[in-house]
């Protein structure tokens, strides 16, 4: 496993299932066990029905770019080689408003568009941590 020195997420009790899912290359979202509303980021109470009962459900990992911006100045020394890079907000197909911040891979900044269909890919950055990224859904061209 290559060296990775960038800041990494520290899973806590609320986010551990999410990060464990990523390690298995499955995108999990917290979900209200009563009304089925997906909740991200995890909250103590369902914003739709105020239920405290939560479960985790696997989602398709497909969505669309809701918004994005380009980082030109690294705020951490280990990102200096990456700038400029894009940070995107992906709205997952499962639910309007279910949005996940991430990065786009296999795509130049010039290609990014609002509404662009994307799908999740998983990047194993260390033995313990896998990060979800998104790539454009390309037309099936056999390549
Ligand atoms: Zn609910």
pLDDT by residue (tens digit) across 30-72?
999 999 999 988 788 999 999 999 999 999 999 999 999 999 9
For 62-101, write each residue's pLDDT tens digit: 999 999 999 998 888 888 888 899 999 999 999 999 999 9
Distance 42 CA to ligand 1 centre (A): 13
CA-nearest of 121, 86, 127 to 3 is 127
Report the separation in Å between the CA atom of 116 and the middle of ligand 1, taken as the mean of its atom positions.
29
112 shares a domain with 42 = no
Residue 113's pLDDT is: 96
Q: Are residues 127 and 68 in the same domain?
A: yes
Residue 17 resides in a domain:
yes
Strands 54-58 and 38-39: unpaired
- Specify whether 80 is located in the same domain as 108: yes
Statement to judge: residues 84 and 105 lie in one domain: yes
Per-residue pLDDT at 99: 96
Q: Is residue 7 situated within a structural domain?
A: no
Distance 117 CA to ligand 1 centre (A): 27
| Residue 126 domain boundaries | 60-138
| Total domain count, the chain | 2
Residues 82 and 129 in one domain: yes
Q: What is the Å distance from ligand 1's center to 1 Cα?
A: 40
CA of 35 to the centre of ligand 1 (A): 4
Question: What is the pTM (predicted TM-score) of this model?
Answer: 0.88
Locate 47 and state its tokens.
């914003």
| Together in a domain, 70 and 95 | yes
Is the pLDDT score of 142 beyond 70?
no
Same domain, 44 and 85: no
């Amino acid at each position: 496993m290559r060296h990775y020195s960038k800041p990494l997420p520290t899973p806590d009790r609320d986010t551990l299932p999410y990060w464990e899912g990523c390690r298995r290359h499955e995108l999990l979202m917290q979900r209200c066990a009563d009304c089925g509303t997906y909740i991200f980021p995890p909250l103590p109470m369902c914003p739709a029905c105020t239920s405290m009962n939560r479960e985790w459900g696997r989602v398709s990992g497909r969505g669309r770019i809701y918004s994005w911006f380009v980082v030109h100045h690294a705020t951490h020394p280990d990102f200096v080689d990456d700038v400029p890079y894009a940070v995107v907000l992906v709205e997952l197909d499962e639910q309007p408003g279910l949005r996940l911040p991430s990065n786009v891979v296999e795509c130049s900044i010039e290609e990014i568009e609002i509404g662009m269909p994307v799908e999740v890919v998983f990047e194993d950055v260390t033995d313990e941590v896998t990060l979800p990224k998104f790539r454009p859904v390309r037309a099936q061209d056999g390549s």
